Amino acid sequence: MRHRFEPGRLISGGTAVAVGAGYGLDALGVWRAPGPWLFLAVPVGLVLSGVTAAIWATTRRHLSHSHEPAQPDKTARPPDKAAGPDEAGPPDGAAHPS
């Protein structure tokens, strides 16, 4: 079974990989992390992924409602048919009310 695309998770994962790579490169001495920027990237990435997920969910909900085929109204009663000669009397042989 395939999973549906979730852009909020993609942004969260990309942020985590970028921060992890930044701290890893800083630990190896290859790149000097610029102060608190890597630390601030985590909450900024989480907020961005939350906003993206909310927009994606709203868009998906809107598109799913606009592409649904029109369904018949289930509350509408079918038209009454004219009573035939065998349907004129009450059921189970009950007497006619006078």
CB 37 within 8 A of CB 26: no
Q: Which conformational region is residue 92 in: left (phi greater than 0), alpha (psi within -120 to 50 degrees), or beta?
A: left
Locus of tokens 């709203």: 58
pLDDT of 86 strictly over 60: no
Residue type, 78: P
pLDDT at 73 over 70: no
User: Which pTM value belongs to this model?
Assistant: 0.61
Percent share of the chain, pLDDT over 70:
66
For the stretch 8-38, pLDDT in tens is 999 999 999 999 999 999 999 999 988 889 8
